[in-house]
Amino acid sequence: MQTLRIKTASSEDTERARPGPGRDLTPLLAGAATAVGGIGAVLALVDSGSPLRGPFTLFFLLAAPAAAIAAALRGLEPFGRAIASVAGAVAVNMLVTQGMLAVHRWSVRGGIVAVTAISALILLLVLVRRLRGRTTRRRND
C-alpha cells in the first residue's frame, strides 16, 4: 500500500529554509551513524578487543539492513518506515543467524559479511529500480 501526499503551500519549505543551529543536523547525524556502523563492522572483522566492539557491531547489525530497507520503503510515512525497517533488520539478522546455524557454519565474521552483503544487495536493487524508473519516465515524455 502506498501513501499519496498532496503538497500544500510553502509553509513547509519556509520551515526547512529557516536559518539556525539545527537546520543541517540530519546529514551530520547520518554521517556519524555511518561512521559508528563502519567502525563496528571493522572492529568485529579484525577481532579487536576494544570495549566499543560490542555496541558498535550491534549498531551496525541493526542499522545497515534497516537503512537498506528504509530506502526501499520511501513511500511510507516516516514513523511507519522506521518501524518496518527496524523489524526488517531484525528479521534479516535472524534469518542470517538461523541459516548459518543450520549449515553449522556460524562465525561472527561470516555473520557480518552476510548482513553486509544482503544490505548492499537491497540497496543495489533500490538503486536499479530508481534508475529504471527515471529511464522509463524520460522515454514516455
Give the 3-state DSSP-derived string for 30-68, with helices as H, strands as E and coil as C: HHHHHHHHHHHHHHHHCCCCCCCHHHHHHHHHHHHHHHH
Give the residue-averaged pLDDT of 76-93. Answer: 95
More confident residue, 106 or 15: 106
Confidence band (pLDDT; 50, 70, 90) for 3? low
Confidence band (pLDDT; 50, 70, 90) for 138? low
Q: Is 80 helix (H, G, I), strand (E, B) or coil?
A: helix
- pLDDT confidence of residue 85: 95
Instruction: Give me the phi and psi of 124, to 5 degrees please.
Output: -65, -40
16-74 pLDDT, tens digit each = 555 666 677 888 888 899 999 999 999 999 988 999 999 999 999 999 999 999 999 98
More confident residue, 134 or 93: 93
For the whole model, what pTM was predicted?
Answer: 0.76
- pLDDT confidence of residue 62: 95
